[in-house]
Structure 1
């Protein structure tokens, strides 16, 4: 029964997820649509800035989890999903590192405490069916949680650079949801319940820490066989 959870650890882990878990987007002010900067690519809102930061943070935990899956995964489908995580988040990371300085957005070098907890959970799993099941279910929940949020950002932002990032994130998240589902290990009842009735977590658990002054930026290196296409920055600021 591939859709059943193995052991009790995963139930506890999924119970700790908060919407939207992949990016950890939390309300940083009472008005997420408040404009915080005027740029040549359009106004930048708090919501836009959070999106760029949290896309970066997503890669900081999912990329190493993908590498972990390549070592600990025991099925061909889990290994394939792991390859997609590494490749997809290297591509998104490249996009974030291009766009962030253009918008004067500071990127984190470490994922949020909640996301680090996901990595620790999977790292503690023994290689075998428990890891495969936890891997597929945690990542299906987190990607499913953020899917609608990406669509909202894409449909409401007035900033063309944020639209470019949302376009790429949308494609990547859909791909990652799909490869997790193809493992045959996803418990959809539990995943959908967690997405629609999430518990509350303190904001400090959802927020990646700011980098230290002078700290070198972490770069997520694409695999040698990467299929990702780098984003194209338009020469005309009003384009996109």
Structure 2
């Protein structure tokens, strides 16, 4: 499993692109880290209940996760060298297509702006796996990176589920809880997860600058990226995808 250093010299998994954002649409820091400045602050009153800063950031996190895990899942289907890795890839694309459909449905009701690209850190994970040749290196990097990121977000899902007063966010947290646990399980079933490394990364996360863990601001007027889902839902509690489109 490989590690690289951020622009600040911090060691972390997979690498990150050196993108500096001129402006942020999402005031709180997003990504694997969860360091919102005021998570309980109410940012909107909606028909589904009050929306806090933490609620809004969670919706954006779910969207951003799908924007990188969905194509990585497709990569695993094409490059995986074991049936377990291929199956894990199918679970990723299916689960995130279903979550993405929910997020795109509720975001307008909540007044939440969704990104069309994942964070630079997440783009770094994609770059790492893209550069891996088909073989054991890809399989191992895939299983460990995805196990770390899902394990890191699992506690966030639980906290949002237990604290939100917004019914739409609560339902999204229910769906995310099922999906994330499924993805943790299929990564572990590959037999490739290095638990010493994974648990260290989860419990000692790197302190990255906001520019590396915040999704870029969407370009005004740009079509929304859609993670499309075909009828086959064999690998998800909700749906299964074919490929990303813009619409």
- Shorter-chain-normalised TM-score: which range? 0.7 to 0.9
Q: How far does residue 17 in structure 1 lie from its aligned partner after superposition? A: 4.6
Q: How far does residue 64 in structure 1 lie from its aligned partner after superposition? A: 0.2
SS in 2 for 1:194: helix
Indicate the structure whose relative CO is greater, using CA pairs within 8 Å and at least 6 residues apart.
1
Structure showing the higher helix proportion among its residues = 1
TM-score normalised by length of structure 2: 0.84
Among candidates 69, 82, 85, match of residue 92 of structure 2: 85
Q: Please list every run of 5 or more consecutive structure 2 residues that lacks an aligned counterpart in the other structure.
A: 15-29, 240-247
Aligned mates of 1:24, 1:223 — CA distance in 2:
29
Q: How far does residue 221 in structure 1 lie from its aligned partner after superposition? A: 0.9
Q: How far does residue 26 in structure 1 lie from its aligned partner after superposition? A: 3.8
Does the 8 Å CA contact 1:26/1:203 hold for their aligned counterparts? no
Q: Please name the residue that 1:197 is paired with.
A: 204
Does the 8 Å CA contact 2:77/2:89 hold for their aligned counterparts? yes
Aligned mates of 2:188, 2:180 — CA distance in 1:
12
Q: Please name the residue that 2:78 is paired with.
A: 71
Please say if 1:229 is aligned against 2:225: no
Aligned mates of 1:224, 1:141 — CA distance in 2:
30
Structure showing the higher strand proportion among its residues = 2
Among candidates 114, 123, 146, match of residue 153 of structure 2: 146
Does the 8 Å CA contact 1:53/1:107 hold for their aligned counterparts? yes
Q: Please list every run of 5 or more consecutive structure 1 residues that lacks an aligned counterpart in the other structure.
A: 231-240
TM-score normalised by length of structure 1: 0.86
SS in 2 for 1:219: strand
Matched length? 219
Aligned mates of 1:229, 1:76 — CA distance in 2:
22
Aligned mates of 2:71, 2:194 — CA distance in 1:
23
Q: Please name the residue that 1:16 is paired with.
A: 12
Among candidates 39, 51, 60, match of residue 44 of structure 1: 51
Does the 8 Å CA contact 1:133/1:185 hold for their aligned counterparts? yes
Does the 8 Å CA contact 1:113/1:208 hold for their aligned counterparts? yes
Quote the RMSD (CA, aligned, Å).
2.0
